[in-house]
Amino acid sequence: MSGGRSNRSWRLLSGGESWVFKLFDPERANHLFPNDPTAEIIALKALGGTGLAPDFENSFVADAGVCLIYRYVVGRPTPQTDAGTIRLLANLHGVAAPKLRHLEINPKALLRDGQKFLERIATDRAKRLSKCAPGLKDVPSGPNVFLHGDPVPANVLADGDTRCMIDWQCPATGDATADLAIALSPAMHVVYGAGALTSSQEREALLAYPDADVIERYLALKPFYHWRMAAYCAWKAAHGEAVYENAFEAELSRI
């Protein structure tokens, strides 16, 4: 199957039923986007029957790595994050979370995450980012919720008015703004969607989130999220993934 940049997957059709076999590549993990099959299994089991995620079937260890099996979900990847996707995330955030990694979300933690990427490279992009890091301010973290961790456009499938999220290899608990930042990221739209949202498209999507406190907190943290994502893109570009060069510029323009 096409679409994934971290793992490989195959669709199996038999007797009118359909499954996805997802083979994990452990080399594609990093601290922003872990690639953890165990965490995906936990998330899928917790969401079984909700329609928010595919229904988990089984897993096994092959010579090439860990492979998950889940029910195939009918739908097409969304080209861009819109109000429907934001409402879908809000529904997820209302589900009781299982035990998963916890994300620390505040300006200091976001800058620290980005710096970890910049420490590994010595490029002009890294130098540019070091000069434009947002100044620290106090933005208290919100309540812990169930996070997808990687809700880019390609990971949201739409079938009419029905939507479902796939690729749960990065689930977590933490502030709801963490999912909003990935879902609205200009860089992730360059890599996985139809190009960065305009400011008006972003605002329209964001306002679909039903909690005004989350929206206010996201807007306060926005420069720090953009800076961290730009650092991630600089790191990816330094390792030869050319699509992240334009993604870097898209994210940097919003800091």
Q: Where do the domains of the chain lie, and which CATH numbers do they carry?
A: 8-71 (3.30.200), 76-252 (1.10.510.10)
Locate 83 and state its tokens: 């109000």
Question: Roughly how many angstroms between the first and final C-alpha of the chain, as a whole number?
Answer: 35
* pLDDT value for 141: 87
Evaluate whether 50 touches 66 at the Cβ level (below 8 Å): no
- Model pLDDT, residue 93: 98
For 109-120, how does the pLDDT look when each residue is reduced to its tens digit (9 = 90+)?
Answer: 999 999 999 999
Assess contact for 169 and 100: CB atoms under 8 A.
Answer: no
Whether 3 has a pLDDT exceeding 80, the answer reads no
Q: What is the DSSP string of 83-130?
A: HHHHHHHHHHHTSPP-S--B---SHHHHHHHHHHHHTT--SHHHHHHH
Query: What does the pLDDT read at residue 229?
Result: 98
Q: Give this prediction's pTM.
A: 0.97
pLDDT average, residue stretch 75-85: 97
- Residue 226's pLDDT band (cuts 50, 70, 90): very high
User: What HEC string does 21-35 produce?
Assistant: EEECCHHHCCCCCCC
Whose CA is closest to 71, among 155, 15, 161, 11?
11
Q: How confident is the model at residue 2 (pLDDT cuts 50, 70, 90)?
A: confident
Name the pLDDT band for 4 (thresholds 50, 70, 90).
confident
Pair type for strands 17-23 and 65-71: antiparallel
Average pLDDT over all residues of the chain: 97
Mean pLDDT of 139-150: 96
